[in-house]
Amino acid sequence: MKNPIYLDYQATTPLDERVLDAMLPYFRDKFGNAASRNHAFGWEAEKAVETARGQIAALIGADAKEIVFTSGATESNNLAIKGVAEMYREKGRHFISAPTEHKAVLDPLKRLEQEGATVTLLPVDKTGQVALADLEKAIRPDTVLVSLMAANNEIGTLHPLEAIGKLCKARGVLFHTDATQGVGKIPIDVERMGIDLLSLSGHKVYGPKGVGALYVRRRNPRVRLSPQLDGGGHERGMRSGTLNVPGIVGLGKACEIAGAELASETVRLTNLRERFLAKLRGSLDEIYLNGHPTERLPGNLNVSFAFVEGEGLMMGMSELAVSSGSACTSASLEPSYVLRAIGVGEDLAHTSIRFGLGRFTTEAEVDFAAERVIAAVKRLREMSPLYEMAKEGIDISQVKWSPTEH
């Protein structure tokens, strides 16, 4: 086993060798611009792009013409949210989302609010799911878009996409899902689930970084977007700019592989995740699973270890590459806003670790990781007077601490 062991698959995934092999010719011999329609180099590049469009569409049950290429899910989310806001301005300026969304959804919504739009963030339950009754109640005549993620990047909780889509359809509201974590990991069908806009990213599905896509529904209803990048009218006028052909080829191949292996990987990763959790629970008390116990990503495990500080725990098991929150906000010392939204107290939120398992995670790595985590938690708790007090039955929340005198 190579150290450190990578257990941060929700932050990014390693590039699959098969994806790299598909990409390499487009860096060297097949270097044409997909917009060059006058010669063989351009035709070759355009053909590769259209093949990738079909591979991505097949994974989510879409039509190839409904795939718009972007630089990644952050751009896709911005194009979906701001593009709808501008195009449907006359219909209304009310948007619905949830406080557990990725910042790439929350920040564009915040920008719209500054420009006069109204945003409703639905509460989530302790597992991180929204209640359909709350969503139904929140939809107004001027609501133009509901944006709810397929799977949460920190706690792995899945939203009931089909039920949400059905409700949005019945009320004539567009439904966008940031499916960055879900695509290739859980079955997604935009038709069955009534999804109108869907964001995805290459580097979460064993593809390259810096490339992503946005699915934009073409019929029932035809979704129209105001472009956020102008200059040449590429991608049906929705996203101008020379296409990243090698990246797009890689994203297409990654989606094709993910689709072929989804069923077997789901079983394998769920088993690995449950094995890992069982080992932790078998040797440690006062640990808490964050997120939904069953409706969650196969490879996600987010656990709070009471009486242990998360950053200290990570330093105590340096052979493991794990995260104490989302990769985009882990530089912050604030406890995770996702954990706070599901009602995890500040103390416990600071003790949480996200373990991300993926395609190249082995049983031996999981067993080794569990041993390292257990040893580190026990060592840190031995030094914790709070843990000792809790074991003696003292309710720490009732303790009145007196200031120390100098």
CA distance 228 to 81: 10
3-state secondary structure of 337: helix
Written as one letter, the residue type at 155 is I
328 is annotated as an active-site residue: yes
- Separation of CA 73 from chain center: 9
Could you count the other beta carbons within 10 Å of the beta carbon of residue 326? 19
What are 71's two structure tokens?
A: 């630089």
Could you count the other beta carbons within 10 Å of the beta carbon of residue 380? 19
From the candidates 315, 328, 364, 383, give the one annotated as an active-site residue: 328
- Phi, psi of 201, rounded to the nearest 5 degrees: -140, 145
CA distance 260 to 256: 6
Task: Using alpha carbons, list the distances in angstroms from residue 327 to 373, 387, 393.
Answer: 20, 29, 37
| DSSP helix, strand, coil percent of the chain (3-state; round to 5) | 40, 15, 45
What are 163's two structure tokens?
A: 């039920």
Write the DSSP symbol of residue 66: G
CA distance 214 to 176: 10
The residues that are catalytic are 328
